[in-house]
Amino acid sequence: MIKNALLLPIWDILELKKLKPIEVLMALTVPLVWGMGLVFAKSAIDHFPPILLMALRFTLTASVLVWFVPIPKKHLKSLFGIAIIAAAIQYSLTFTGLKGLDAGIAALIVQLEVPFLVILGIIFLKEKAEKKTFIGIAMAFTGVAIMTQQNDIRVNINSVFLVVLGGLAWAVGQVLIRKLIDIRVMQITAWVAVFAVPQLFFMSAIFETGQIEALQNASSIVWWAVVYLGLVMTAFGYLLWNNLIRNHNVGKVAPFLLLLPIFSLIGGVVFLGETPTLLMLIGGVIILLGVGLITIPQSTINYLLKRVV
């Protein structure tokens, strides 16, 4: 018998009392901003080639952020390499995959970034993991496998594979970033964007066509989507996120990111006319439960279990 578990204040369940009200608002804004970014990107990809879109996105981000941080002279070589993996390759894979998927499905698959990061952390950084973490990893990959079983043209297995590889590239980049010392997080964000711009334009020139025509014929709505991706999703979103992780343990705020695919799913339904299927919802729930096991502290899980049966 559930002992009023559904009536428990979210404030206590997630230990939000350790966050200031403004920080809770910031933590809720990040998944909203990032989740809707996938929705707007999905609409813009119908006009711009995906890699070109990312090049334009990071051009705006770099143009805004680079003026507010000093040049990290000791880390320029490392940041250039990180930009190749965690920006140029990752976003090329993820958003090329997004072109063949619904925004909601892509947002759920992107959650594999978390288990990938944990796995790489265990292998290369000798980090320890709890039993629940391994269960969560297995659940997350199982959820993706379930979603790929539906006979629906919106679930293109090649696109799923690209998004999964994008998640792996992101995790590799995060491992490399963790090894950096004596550098501010905002410097990393700004200078990864600076280096990513020429890399992405170069990759677009190699793998895509029709860039000039797309630039010439882009409507104002498409350009506003680019502005959102560059300034709101990336610059503003990471400004909030970096402030949160600077003042709190990542594990304290990471569970908020479970809201990201929910916002993308709602946005896809409202703005893109997407219709979730049963297998998508089942697989998505399993993914979120798995990622939740990885990111939500054991103390919080124990707190919930005490109120069940």
Per-domain residue ranges for the chain?
A: 5-305
Distance CA 60, CA 91 (A): 15
Most confident of the ranges 43-57, 127-141, 264-278: 43-57
Query: pLDDT, tens digit, for every residue of 70-92?
Result: 999 999 999 999 999 999 999 99
Helix/strand/coil percent split, the chain, to 5:
80, 0, 20
Q: Mean per-residue pLDDT for 52-59?
A: 96
50-62: string of b/e by CB count within 10 Å (b at 16+)? bbbbbbbbbbbbb
Evaluate if residue 39 carries a pLDDT over 90.
yes
Evaluate if residue 6 carries a pLDDT over 50.
no
Distance CA 298, CA 132 (A): 8
In percent, the amount of the chain with pLDDT more than 90 equals 52
Q: Identify residue 246 by its one-letter amino acid code.
A: R
Around Cβ 308, how many Cβ atoms within 10 Å? 9
pLDDT of residue 194: 96
Query: pLDDT, tens digit, for every residue of 278-302?
Result: 888 899 999 999 998 888 777 666 7
Tokens 């709505």 belong to which residue?
A: 221
Q: Mean per-residue pLDDT for 40-47?
A: 91
Give the DSSP H/E element, type plus range, for residue 130.
Answer: none
Query: pLDDT, tens digit, for every residue of 111-139?
Result: 998 899 889 888 887 888 888 889 999 99
Q: Mean per-residue pLDDT for 147-156?
A: 67
Nearest to 91 by CA among 212, 197, 221: 197
Q: How confident is the model at residue 57 (pLDDT cuts 50, 70, 90)?
A: very high
Please give the full DSSP string across 174-215, using - where no structure is assigned: HHHHHT--S--HHHHHHHHHHHHHHHHHHHHHHH---HHHHH
Whether 258 and 101 have beta carbons less than 8 Å apart is answered as no
Whether 62 and 288 have beta carbons less than 8 Å apart is answered as no
* CB neighbour list of residue 214: distance below 8 Å, 6 or more residues apart: 47, 48, 49, 52
Handedness of CA 189, 85, 99, 283 (dihedral sign): negative
Give the DSSP H/E element, type plus range, for residue 87.
Answer: none
Whether 76 and 191 have beta carbons less than 8 Å apart is answered as yes
Nearest to 185 by CA among 94, 296, 68: 68
Distance CA 115, CA 164 (A): 11
